A and B are shown apart, each in its own frame.
Chain A
């Protein structure tokens, strides 16, 4: 007989989810599933609306990475306008994306996940959160809050608003960067760099004594997919080619135009989740599982292209075989290295005199009836694909969201963690700290579930017990 335990809601993640654990008679974990339970239906209700509205509406897919949607949407618009945007506009869009990577990764690292390592997986759940961190380690909490704030400020100083700025548009951006705002960003950069270096050191120190997590939080071979720069395959976040590699470091796809994504990415649907499961088509489902996001980007790139981040990258790659790091626990580490890379690049952009140019928007109209826009969101590669009619009204929309592409791996991760830590369960009683480890496996991916199901909502965590016939025996909510 199988007993099923459901964790509901999964907390400290950005979205609504549950996890099911299936226990056999011996109290061992047979299987585990990660369910996403929200859905809003953007792809349908955007039909019939004008292209120009898409950046503003799709930003509301997600309040954590609205900039990714705004940029992917604006790039899809550039494609439909068939224009090349002014160089300054591209640089400004890049700067905003770097600000977003900084704020989003800082949120994941400091606000959401660090309570697990710094306060402990088994610490009192009532205080195991950012407020508990404020109480326990006020200096660190303050530094993390200020790092996220820096990223949000970059966004606000460019776009006028921290969340959902109406700024990037087909053809470029609405407003240039002012000198005063340029100076403000510059003035706060040193502190942000300092906090990032400390965060990296903190994490490196942690994994020295926690190899068990590195080995069991989603450590398995998969493919990795993401963008690299068109020139030289450097770390890339805004515009590049797709590359796919396997866990041994073999390159399967390179120099691939992201507009052709549908040739290599398929999507499967499972009855138990609103989150679709994308896979690499040539290998089929589920063998074609691939990971995206910080871990993938650091595995895929030749180098990052800035000195401090590249030095960290060399050290990071020592955790892998052939330089490919396969443990999802090290997403956290990769995230901090990406903040470092983002801050270094913001510095370089500030040094570029063209960043203050006021030529930031190309005019254009409906010159093509189909467009694809791709960017690297904090969580991975984001695809927008629109068809429009002659008047620019949307006739079809498809979005492939970063988090979804990790779905197969997130499912494997919860199973791996559960099978490693949970044994000999009697009466479906699983210690809270063990359940928290299972959730922490999901947190490592920093999933953004409002995005991935184009949904609304939060991620719950409830553990439900089922018998072999699927009858609910018990539900263990977290007290």
Chain B
């Protein structure tokens, strides 16, 4: 049997969901036997590949680079998973949404403060991606197949999902153990 092609990506989040993934600890060794990691922040492949079986998406959609890559992820992945509260609801990343002109005011506060040397909003074309005004969860941009809530989702919950995927069964997202937010 060929290995499951597994990917994970980190968009507008804090990396905490990926850290919780690494909290699978020694089960990672079992996982490595069952899946091929074809794209991930902890691996070196730079282009999102084709024919991915499952992609975990951490984080909300917060800048223009995210919009570009999320469409590619959808196109190339059989199962797209919103991984953690930022991906599921926007969570902390979306806390700037209630501010009017959210992107502009947060940038001005951070980069135009008078105490700074050379105050300016970073903007180099093609390098520094512009922020979107309104941060949105992943499913606002593309259809999502599965949601794993939690900030971050605890490792046993991640394991339960991946275990099912590896066995070719649909993951059961029921009960407090699998569904608690925060």
Contacts and interface: CB of A to CB of B under 8 A. Distances in A.
B148 to A, nearest CB: 14
A359 B20 CA distance: 31
B118 A270 contact: yes
A441 to B, nearest CB: 15
B18 to A, nearest CB: 7
A459 B65 CA distance: 12
Given A40-B62, A60-B14, A456-B12, A112 B126 contact: no
Contact of A267 (B63, B91, B117, B126): B117
Interface string A130-151: 1100110010011001101100
A108 B47 CA distance: 23
A268 interface: yes
Nearest to A455: B12
A35 B95 CA distance: 25
B122 A271 contact: yes
Interface in A421-479: 436, 448, 450, 454, 456-462, 464, 472, 477-479
Contacts of A8: 46
Nearest to A18: B127
Contacts of A43: 106, 109-110
A40 B12 contact: yes
Interface stretch (A62-70, A91-99, A181-189, A300-308): A62-70
Contacts of B110: 39, 41, 43-44, 454
Given A12-B43, A63-B152, A456-B86, A35 B120 contact: no
Interface residues of B, number: 67
A411 interface: no
A272 B23 CA distance: 34
A341 interface: no
A272 B126 contact: no
Given A57-B92, A152-B23, A273-B128, A134 B28 contact: yes
B96 A63 contact: no
B73 to A, nearest CB: 13
Nearest to B126: A472
B93 interface: yes
B10 A458 contact: yes
A283 interface: no
A273 B102 CA distance: 20
Contact of A274 (B12, B99, B128): B128
Nearest to B39: A11
A11 B110 CA distance: 26
Contact of A457 (B13, B47, B102, B127): B13
A450 B128 CA distance: 15
Contacts of B152: 63, 163-164
Contacts of B22: 107, 111, 148
A267 B122 CA distance: 14
Nearest to A40: B93
Interface in A224-263: 262
Nearest to A286: B117
Interface residues of A, number: 78
Interface string B82-116: 00001000011101101100100111011100011
A174 interface: no
Interface string A1-34: 0000010110110111010100000000000000
A45 B106 contact: yes
B23 A162 contact: yes
A128 interface: yes
B56 interface: no
A276 interface: yes
A45 B95 contact: yes
A129 interface: yes
A374 interface: no
Given A163-B19, A272-B122, A37 B129 contact: yes
B47 A271 contact: no
Given A39-B107, A40-B96, A145 B26 contact: yes
Given A142-B29, A273-B122, A285-B117, A458 B127 contact: no
Given A18-B127, A39-B110, A44-B110, A62 B15 contact: yes
Contacts of A477: 46-47
A228 to B, nearest CB: 27
Contacts of B18: 63
A38 to B, nearest CB: 7
Contact of A269 (B47, B96, B98, B117): B117
Nearest to B66: A457
B45 interface: yes
B172 interface: no
Contacts of B151: 60, 164
Contacts of B167: none
28 contacts: A11-B42, A11-B44, A14-B15, A15-B15, A18-B127, A40-B93, A40-B106, A44-B110, A57-B92, A61-B14, A63-B13, A125-B45, A130-B42, A134-B29, A135-B32, A142-B26, A163-B16, A267-B115, A270-B122, A272-B128, A285-B117, A456-B93, A457-B10, A457-B13, A457-B66, A458-B41, A461-B46, A479-B46
Interface of B: 9-20, 22-23, 25-26, 28-29, 32, 37, 40-47, 59-60, 62-63, 65-66, 86, 91-93, 95-96, 98-99, 102, 105-107, 109-111, 115-120, 122-124, 126-129, 131, 151-152, 154-155
Interface of A: 6, 8-9, 11-12, 14-16, 18, 20, 35, 37-41, 43-45, 57, 60-64, 66, 107, 111-112, 125-126, 128-131, 134-135, 138, 141-142, 145-146, 148-149, 152, 161-164, 262, 266-274, 276, 279, 285, 436, 448, 450, 454, 456-462, 464, 472, 477-479
